[in-house]
């Protein structure tokens, strides 16, 4: 009986009935689980609100109904998106019994992209975009210009404040959407104007003859007319830019290759429909070993590629091999160029547009529509073969590039095999200069990459030995921007780093074997330190990008100043913070600044006190750190390594193509372009020399 009673209690404790089911009405599910709809409530999710509203306007342009979109960042975190499309319908919806505008803005899975003739091509699939933005906004307002009238409706946290009303007459057509992101939802509301500009530039390339204006009026103190159609027409004195490209993807290729040396003159381009899929491809080869290959489906960037990219690669390899054999460049039947050979040095953009589209996953990062593969392969393959035959000089350069890549691949194979295939890395012990941590759990383990032996010594003494490992790097590591894998692994510093990470490298890379989930770059706050940091980031970006995308790479932020006022000690991370902490009430004559010593020298506390004493015991002393090696172990722990107090910057890739371009400039061989880039961006840099 006791056992039966126990079972009954357990059953009752786990009783599951209709009473346990929570029903969320309207847009409540969005506010309850925002991450399901926008991915995150951090910066990515915040900017996603702009993309959702912009994409609706962009879909109007893709359908041929609009040719100008304006995005403006306004004071008090308002965002304003305008298009001159048809305007959202405002008439009564038969099913919901309210205006179509209200239905779209307050109902999930309601929109003009599920069927009918509203949109032949669109990026939105689920009808959640505008309503999700509405749900996650404190306030939202929509002005619609259509059918000779101007209509308005206002919302708060996804709920309407009043019915749609006509507020005036209008000779225009289009939609004005204003929204104010909700601070109850988002961790921090701060839009990145450069990020917005980069995204919208990309969209302008993808939609030929679409004019996109971007304004940053957040600090504008004048009067803004919220009902004005385009604020850019008012000539506001605010940061602004307008994108308009006649050439579409060809213009995009020129932009990506701005700091590269093309190996052939003509940019290949094709735009043609097949099997109900509009295929658009542009490409050009450059004198480099990196691959720049980006794909879009209905103007949505597919970071993981998909079926259209598979079709493109298959056709590219087939065409180059076919032409090479026809031109008697490849004679041996075994000497086929492989995919990696024909991709080396390629800059290409593949874009498809289709009515019924399928993505793998909620983020739309990978296209799954199978008809896109055959359509892209057929359209591109036919056009590219014709391009090679009609442009023999370009064709010879392209085939020659592939053959050079093949020869380099075969020549390097033995070296790569000896290092990678035969377990040379897997079987080797960890590098001797690595001071490993005691923990075997990667989730709690950290690897500090520190500059020089002096900093290495201090950090080894000051660390938490259980979870923190130290790998000192000697000097500036190899610039891997144009180095092949066998040359890289001949570098002892890079080899030590690869061994320490545990992931291997190249085609044997396995992120599951990563030994540390925090890899922290800790270099000095001077020009050399910045250079070393850039070299390390180049290595991670080119050969360990999944570590960046996975959020495993960080940059340490050591302080620049130690401020001592009697027994009170504070640290400052910038000149302005130092001045603020020193205070205005302190007389300049009372301050003694102690410059940091050269690396390898040590200044004892007694010596520091002696320096202070010679200045008649001032009230405030400031030590200026030039490098990590100047800190004793206790200072390094307290300021840079203690998880409770330190400041770390997480490295992420907001725009892969823009990041790729920056690395090309900074680490490539084009000196004039690098000089121009540095001169143009010098004012943005916070470098202490």
- Summarize pLDDT for 627-657 with one digit per residue, the tens: 787 888 998 999 999 999 898 999 987 655 5
Q: How many domains does the chain have?
A: 4
What is the reported pLDDT for 680?
52
- Taking all residues of the chain, what is their mean pLDDT, rounded to a whole number? 82
90, 172: one domain: yes
Residue 444: its H or E element: none
Name the range with the highest mean pLDDT among 58-72, 407-421, 477-491, 503-517.
Answer: 58-72
The band of 360, judged by pLDDT with boundaries at 50, 70 and 90, is: confident
3-state DSSP call for residue 242? strand
Domain endpoint, select from 352, 387, 418: 418
φ, ψ of residue 62 to 5 degrees: the values are: -65, -30
3-state DSSP call for residue 192? coil
Q: Which of 154, 528, 549, 599 is catalytic?
A: 528
Show contacts of 268-275: CB within 8 Å, 24+ apart: 268/383, 268/384, 268/387, 270/379, 270/380, 270/383, 270/384, 272/379, 272/383, 274/375, 274/378, 274/379, 275/371, 275/374, 275/375, 275/378
Query: Which tens digit of pLDDT belongs to each residue from 325-353?
Result: 998 888 766 678 999 999 999 999 999 99
**Within a domain: 224:** yes
Residue 681 reports pLDDT greater than 80: no
What is the reported pLDDT for 363?
63
Residue 293: its H or E element: strand 292-297
- Looking at residue 478, the DSSP 8-state letter turns out to be P
347, 368: one domain: yes
3-state DSSP call for residue 107? coil
456, 510: one domain: yes
Residue with tokens 């009752």: 12
> Is residue 526 among the annotated active site residues?
yes
| CATH, residue 341 | 3.30.230.10
What is the reported pLDDT for 592?
59
327, 366: one domain: yes
**Within a domain: 630:** no
Q: Which are the contacts of 63, defined by CB distance < 8 A and separation ≥ 6?
A: 119, 120, 121, 122
Dist CA 504 CA 514 (whole Å): 9
Query: Which tens digit of pLDDT belongs to each residue from 238-251?
Result: 999 999 998 889 99
* Weakest mean pLDDT among 103-117, 543-557, 574-588: 103-117
The band of 476, judged by pLDDT with boundaries at 50, 70 and 90, is: confident
Query: Which tens digit of pLDDT belongs to each residue from 365-403?
Result: 899 999 999 999 999 999 999 999 999 999 999 999 999
412, 486: one domain: no
What is the reported pLDDT for 125?
38
What is the reported pLDDT for 98?
85
539, 619: one domain: no
The band of 598, judged by pLDDT with boundaries at 50, 70 and 90, is: very low
What is the four-CA torsion angle of 353, 356, 361, 364, rounded to 10 degrees? 20
3-state DSSP call for residue 225? coil
Residues spanned by the domain of 263: 249-418
Residue 427 reports pLDDT greater than 60: no
Query: Which tens digit of pLDDT belongs to each residue from 267-277?
Result: 999 999 999 99
**Within a domain: 20:** no
156, 33: one domain: yes
396, 458: one domain: no
> Is residue 441 among the annotated active site residues?
no
309, 294: one domain: yes
Query: Which tens digit of pLDDT belongs to each residue from 601-615?
Result: 444 555 444 444 444
517, 664: one domain: yes
Q: Which are the contacts of 330, defined by CB distance < 8 A and separation ≥ 6?
A: 321, 324, 336, 337, 403
Domain endpoint, select from 243, 265, 298: 243
386 conformational bin, left if phi > 0, alpha if psi -120 to 50, beta if neither: alpha
Query: Which tens digit of pLDDT belongs to each residue from 151-164?
Result: 999 999 989 999 99
> Is residue 524 among the annotated active site residues?
yes
**Within a domain: 219:** yes
**Within a domain: 256:** yes
Q: Which of 60, 451, 493, 658 is catalytic?
A: 451
Residue among 278, 255, 253 at smallest CA distance from 266: 253
* Whole-number Cα distances in Å, 247 to 199, 206, 232, 267, 280: 18, 9, 24, 11, 12
Strand partners, 585: none
Residue 593 reports pLDDT greater than 70: no
Domain endpoint, select from 395, 418, 441: 418
| CATH, residue 516 | 3.40.50.670
236, 359: one domain: no
Dist CA 130 CA 79 (whole Å): 13
**Within a domain: 231:** yes
What is the reported pLDDT for 18?
39
More reliable by pLDDT, 360 or 89: 89
Cβ neighbours around 284 below 10 Å, total? 25
Residue 199 reports pLDDT greater than 70: yes
**Within a domain: 287:** yes
What is the reported pLDDT for 361?
67
Residue with tokens 């301050």: 591
Q: Which of 154, 526, 655, 670 is catalytic?
A: 526
pLDDT, average across residues 289-317 = 92
What is the reported pLDDT for 529?
82
**Within a domain: 23:** no
Query: Which tens digit of pLDDT belongs to each residue from 51-67?
Result: 999 999 998 998 889 99
460, 530: one domain: yes
Q: Which of 288, 524, 635, 660 is catalytic?
A: 524
């Amino acid at each position: 009986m006791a056992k039966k009673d126990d079972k009954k209690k357990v059953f009752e404790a786990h009783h599951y009935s209709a009473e346990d089911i929570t029903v969320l009405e309207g847009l409540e599910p969005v506010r309850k689980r925002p991450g399901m709809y926008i991915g995150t409530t951090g910066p990515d999710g915040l900017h996603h609100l702009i993309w959702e509203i912009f994409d609706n306007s962009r879909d109007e342009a893709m359908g041929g109904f609009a040719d100008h979109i304006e995005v403006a960042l306004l004071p008090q975190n308002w965002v304003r998106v305008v298009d001159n499309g048809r305007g959202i319908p405002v008439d009564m919806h038969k099913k919901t019994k309210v205006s179509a505008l209200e239905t779209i803005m307050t109902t999930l899975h309601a929109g003009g992209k599920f069927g009918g003739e509203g949109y032949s091509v669109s990026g939105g699939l689920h009808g959640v975009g505008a309503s999700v933005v509405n749900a996650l906004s404190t306030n939202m307002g929509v002005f619609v210009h259509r059918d000779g009238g101007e209509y308005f409706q206002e919302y708060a946290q996804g709920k309407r404040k009043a019915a749609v009303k006509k507020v005036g007459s209008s000779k225009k057509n289009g939609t004005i959407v204003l929204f104010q992101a909700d601070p109850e939802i988002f961790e921090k509301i701060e839009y990145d104007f450069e990020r917005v500009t980069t995204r919208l530039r990309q969209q302008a390339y993808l939609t030929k003859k679409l004019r996109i204006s971007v304004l940053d009026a957040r600090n504008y103190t004048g009067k803004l007319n919220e009902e004005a159609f385009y604020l850019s027409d008012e000539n506001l004195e605010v940061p602004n830019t307008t994108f308009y490209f006649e050439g579409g993807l060809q213009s995009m290729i020129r932009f990506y290759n701005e700091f590269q040396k093309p190996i052939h003159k003509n940019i290949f381009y094709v735009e043609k429909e097949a099997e109900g899929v509009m295929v658009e491809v542009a490409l050009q080869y450059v004198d480099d070993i990196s691959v720049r290959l980006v794909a879009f489906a209905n103007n949505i960037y597919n970071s993981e590629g998909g079926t259209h990219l598979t079709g493109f690669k298959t056709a590219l390899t087939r065409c180059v091999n076919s032409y090479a054999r026809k031109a008697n460049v490849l004679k041996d039947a075994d000497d086929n160029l492989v995919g990696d050979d024909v991709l080396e040095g390629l800059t290409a953009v593949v874009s498809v547009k289709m009515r019924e589209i399928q993505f793998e996953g909620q983020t739309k990062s990978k296209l799954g529509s199978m008809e896109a593969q055959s359509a892209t392969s057929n359209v591109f393959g036919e056009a590219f073969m014709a391009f090679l035959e009609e442009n023999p000089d370009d064709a010879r350069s392209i085939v020659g590039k592939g053959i050079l890549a093949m020869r380099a691949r075969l020549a390097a194979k033995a070296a790569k095999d000896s290092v990678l295939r035969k377990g040379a890395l897997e079987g080797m012990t960890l590098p001797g200069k690595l001071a490993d941590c005691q923990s075997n759990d990667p989730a709690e383990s950290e690897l500090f990459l520190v500059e020089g032996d002096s900093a290495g010594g201090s950090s080894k003494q000051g660390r938490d030995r259980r979870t923190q490992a130290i790998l000192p790097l000697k000097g500036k590591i190899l610039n891997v921007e144009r180095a092949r894998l066998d040359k890289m692994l001949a570098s002892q510093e890079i080899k030590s780093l690869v061994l320490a990470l545990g992931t291997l490298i190249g085609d044997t890379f396995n992120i599951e074997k990563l030994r540390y989930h925090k890899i922290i770059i800790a270099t000095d706050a001077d020009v050399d330190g910045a250079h070393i940091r850039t070299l390390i980031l180049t290595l991670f970006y080119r050969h360990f990008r999944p570590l960046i995308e996975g959020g495993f790479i960080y940059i340490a932020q050591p302080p620049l100043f130690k401020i001592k006022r009697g027994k009170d000690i504070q640290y400052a991370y910038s000149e302005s913070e130092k001045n603020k902490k020193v205070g205005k009430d302190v007389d300049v004559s009372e301050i003694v600044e102690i410059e940091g010593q050269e690396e390898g020298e040590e200044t004892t506390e007694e010596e520091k006190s002696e320096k202070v004493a010679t200045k008649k015991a001032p009230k405030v002393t400031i030590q200026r750190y030039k490098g990590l090696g100047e800190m004793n172990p206790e200072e390094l722990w307290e300021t840079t390594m203690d998880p409770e107090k330190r400041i770390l910057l997480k490295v992420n890739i907001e725009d892969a193509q823009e990041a790729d371009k920056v690395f090309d400039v900074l680490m490539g061989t084009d000196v004039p372009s690098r000089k121009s880039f540095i001169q143009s961006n010098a004012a943005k840099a916070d470098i202490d020399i």
